[in-house]
Structure 1
């Protein structure tokens, strides 16, 4: 039974990364139509709420807590604000000041951030004397290094070719104040979303309903994001210049993909913790690299291929260590039961 559950979790997490890659393509397409990024976030998040609410009521109603404590309400609001509004604001400012290539590479630091946060909060068991803990640390580092290597080398290749055709770029153009500030925005965005993943895992202890959690935080996130958009732009942009059917259709599709991915991630975090879920995140970088190679004719160079090898080696190390750790913990619990019986 444990092997089947492990297979389901691993397979599902890989499928989730495919869904995230498709979701990024759809959201990029919506923004190319002229819809503001905050509006895209509002539409897709509200669609997620509409699609997941009936499912949550039907399947998870019995898992809802009898009373909403102030602690739980605060956690729900914080997840909504950090995961949707704050992350989108920081991320979009970072993209504006740097480049899409840098914005694609930065989120691959997420597994490292999540591992450190979970370790600090003692949600992830780490014993530096234990072999399995050392392998988990090594695997996480390999995932981060491999994903960063692959995404940076692949995304900067066209820039290098363009630079070769023109004059050499001066150091002042390569390292300027705006790019440094933009990188800080992107780092802050990755740290926020990494902390949010750990906070979701903590909240699922008191609110063991991942679909309901996603639906509720989506609705709260819509309200907060709309308020932020009104403050920043002094209006609410609902894209009236576009056909409502087109916007609704794309938003529902994006919302369905987001809802399915977030709900499964929540279930997997409840079963295996946030670190295991996070190490699968760089797979979306592989998907995007392969997608651009197939559709745009880009070549996968040696650096990108080496990054893929590092990433998959790191992923295998983490999975092996987690599996062995779970097996050893179950043996210890069985021996304790036999001792006291």
Structure 2
């Protein structure tokens, strides 16, 4: 195998490796977040600390590595950054953590698989996604969307019998408070998580658009996290009614959740998304969510002793099935970010050839 072929294979594999590592990082998030919420962490304060840590951690890297390539800030870019900060660091994260309080880490991770469907529907409504009802692949997109929504509804509304696992037997036999089910409300929590996923999908699409006019990925990550932390502070002060105790941190799982979520799931995640989306598109970034769900289900049952219900398992299976129907339907689509560029390059090359022939 030639060196050129190996290099090309590695280049094509980079986006896949990046998003798989991203999902591995996401898999830890529900576990540490649920543990911190169980210890009394405010679901409104956690996003503030999370994005403040991300901004502080990545700001030096942005200053050093992007000082020569950072474009000038315009009013249009600033407004997009403010909207990005509102969509994901504020609205999505507040809904995500509040919904998680009412459910489990596994349930939350499974419900986030609906995000690619929201991204597809938004792209379709904005005419960024082409759908031909006569095409088999377009039919797969539509059917996959309906199956995914049906799986989310099943997970939210139907529990069914408990799936007995040896390591969760003690939790199943314990009291509701000990098992963490006293305050569970899957309908309320599910609706919050679904609403948060819609904001997440909108964030991913808007981030892809913003990167075209502001391609400094590290700087954009820092600005989103900084603005998100400032906006989130206003929400947290209003929701927690100026309660100083909600802002206290010690050397425990709450501090660990803040540091991990901030550095990995905000800073690193936004940066990797910024690298992958210009070539693979926003839907590709969310295509690997089921990997995170499987890891969370395993880790959640071991570390948090979460109980798995049959309705949850069937709903999660439907969500994954519907998701990959949508992705199969998109399999032959030409990435909108790359096709026009290649087309223009070809036209420019042809014009240069004509000019060269006329230049005598």
CA displacement 1:140-199 (0-9 Å, x = unmatched)? 6666667877x67997643999xx99xxxxxxxxxxxx9766654443222222212211
> Given the alignment, which residue of 247, 255, 275 partners 2:262?
255
> Given the alignment, which residue of 7, 18, 33 partners 1:27?
33
> Given the alignment, which residue of 33, 47, 51 partners 1:45?
51
1:319–1:109 CA distance, 2 compared to 1 (3 A): closer
TM-superposed deviation, 1:56: 2.0
> Given the alignment, which residue of 50, 54, 73 partners 2:60?
54
The residue aligned with 2:126 is: 121
Normalising by structure 2, we get a TM-score of 0.71
Q: Does the 8 A contact of 1:146 with 1:310 survive in 2? A: yes
1:216–1:323 CA distance, 2 compared to 1 (3 A): same
Q: Does the 8 A contact of 2:158 with 2:311 survive in 1? A: no
TM-superposed deviation, 1:88: 3.1
TM-superposed deviation, 1:227: 1.6
The residue aligned with 1:227 is: 234
1:240–1:179 CA distance, 2 compared to 1 (3 A): closer
- 1:158 correspondence with 2:162: yes
TM-superposed deviation, 1:137: 5.0
The worse-fitting range, judged by mean Cα deviation, of 318-327 and 194-203 is: 318-327
CA displacement 1:18-40 (0-9 Å, x = unmatched)? 10111221222222332212222
Q: Does the 8 A contact of 2:150 with 2:318 survive in 1? A: no
1:148–1:281 CA distance, 2 compared to 1 (3 A): farther
| Bigger share in helix | 1
Distance 2:71 2:138 in 1: 35
Normalising by structure 1, we get a TM-score of 0.74
Q: How does 1:32-181 map to 2 (within 5 A)?
A: 32-66=38-72, 68-95=73-100, 99-100=103-104, 103-128=108-133, 133-137=138-142, 157-158=161-162
User: How large is the Cα RMSD of the aligned pairs?
Assistant: 4.3
The residue aligned with 1:311 is: 320
Distance 1:307 1:246 in 2: 28
Q: Secondary structure at the match of 1:282?
A: helix
CA displacement 1:247-304 (0-9 Å, x = unmatched)? 6555333322112122112221222111111222233212222334555597897984
1:306–1:185 CA distance, 2 compared to 1 (3 A): closer
Distance 1:252 1:185 in 2: 24
Q: Does the 8 A contact of 1:147 with 1:311 survive in 2? A: no
Q: Does the 8 A contact of 1:201 with 1:266 survive in 2? A: yes
Q: Does the 8 A contact of 2:53 with 2:263 survive in 1? A: yes
The residue aligned with 1:280 is: 288
Q: Secondary structure at the match of 1:205?
A: helix
TM-superposed deviation, 1:113: 0.8
TM-superposed deviation, 1:215: 1.3
Consecutive unaligned residues in structure 1, runs of 5 or more:
166-177
> Given the alignment, which residue of 8, 11, 22 partners 2:17?
11
Distance 2:309 2:63 in 1: 46
TM-superposed deviation, 1:16: 1.0
Q: Does the 8 A contact of 1:105 with 1:148 survive in 2? A: no
Structure whose alpha-carbon radius of gyration is higher? 2
Distance 2:231 2:142 in 1: 36
Q: Does the 8 A contact of 1:111 with 1:140 survive in 2? A: no
> Given the alignment, which residue of 179, 193, 208 partners 1:201?
208
